[in-house]
Amino acid sequence: MGSISSFINLLFSSKYTVAFTGSGVSAESGIPTFRGKKGIWKRINPDTVATREGFLKNPVFVWKWYLERFKTLEGAKVNYAHIALAKLEKKGLLKAVITQNIDGLHQKAGSKKVIELHGTVKKVKCLKCGKKFSSSIVSNTLPPTCPKCGGLLRPDVVWFGEPLPEKTLNEAFQEVSKTDLLIVIGTSGTVMPAAMIPYLAKQKGAKIVEVNTEETPITAIADLFFKEPCSILFRKLMEEAKI
C-alpha cells in the first residue's frame, strides 16, 4: 500500500512522468471493464466479436454489437481521474498518457498527448485498401463498405490475434524509455504486449505507482499501490498536492 504524501513526493521529484491506463480508469464513467467480475467477456465470447475470423464469419452481427458499444462510449462522461491526468499534463507534471482504451475519454477530458495502443472508436478502416475514415460514415446499412473501393469496413481497433500498430507501439516504448515515474491505472496487466510496459519501465529504473481496485501481476513490482477507485485516489492526490 502507499501513502498520498509518498505519491506526491515521487510526482514532484520526477523529471518525466507517464501514465499507463486500462479499462479501470473508465469504469467510473459507466464503461464496463473487459475482465472484471462483471466484465464484457463474461457476457460474450470475444472470439465472436473481437477477432478477424469472427468478423468475416458474421460482419453484420459484429457491427450491431459495436454500434451498441459505440453508443455507450459516446454517451460516457469523463470522471475525475481523466480530468486529473489532463490537469497534471497542463501543469507539466505528466508528459503522456499511454492507454489501452478506445473510448477517447482522455482526449475529451483535455489530455493532449495520448497514445492509443488498441485503436479508437472514432475511426473505421477498410479491410481491402486499408484507408481509414471517421466512424460517422457508418449508417444503418450493415455491414458498411468503403466509399473508395467497396471493401468491408471494420472498427479501427486491435482485435485478438492482431499485432499492435508498429508506429503506435514504438511511440509508447519511446515514452517508457524516458520515464522515471510510471503511473499505472486500472489495467489488468495481462494483455500483451501492452502489459510489458510497466516491466520495461521498471527495468530502466523507473518508479511504479499502481492504482486499481484489485491487485494485479503489476502489484508485485509497484513501489506504491493504491487499492481504491482511481477517481477517489486522484481527488485526494490533487487536493493534498494543491493542484
Q: Which amino acids are annotated catalytic? A: 118
C-alpha span between 217 and 192 (Å, rounded): 13
30 neighbors 197 (Cβ within 8 angstroms): no
Identify which of 112, 114, 136, 115 has the alpha carbon closest to the alpha carbon of residue 124: 136
Identify which of 229, 202, 224 has the alpha carbon closest to the alpha carbon of residue 214: 229
All three cell numbers of 93, joined, read: 507534471
* H/E element, 213: none
* H/E element, 171: helix 166-178
Give the torsion sign (CA, 221, 23, 17, 156).
positive
Distances (CA, A) of 108 to 62, 73, 103, 122, 147: 26, 12, 9, 12, 28
Going by C-beta distance under 8 Å and a sequence separation of 6 or more, which residues neighbour residue 15? 180
Residue linked to cell 510489458:
196
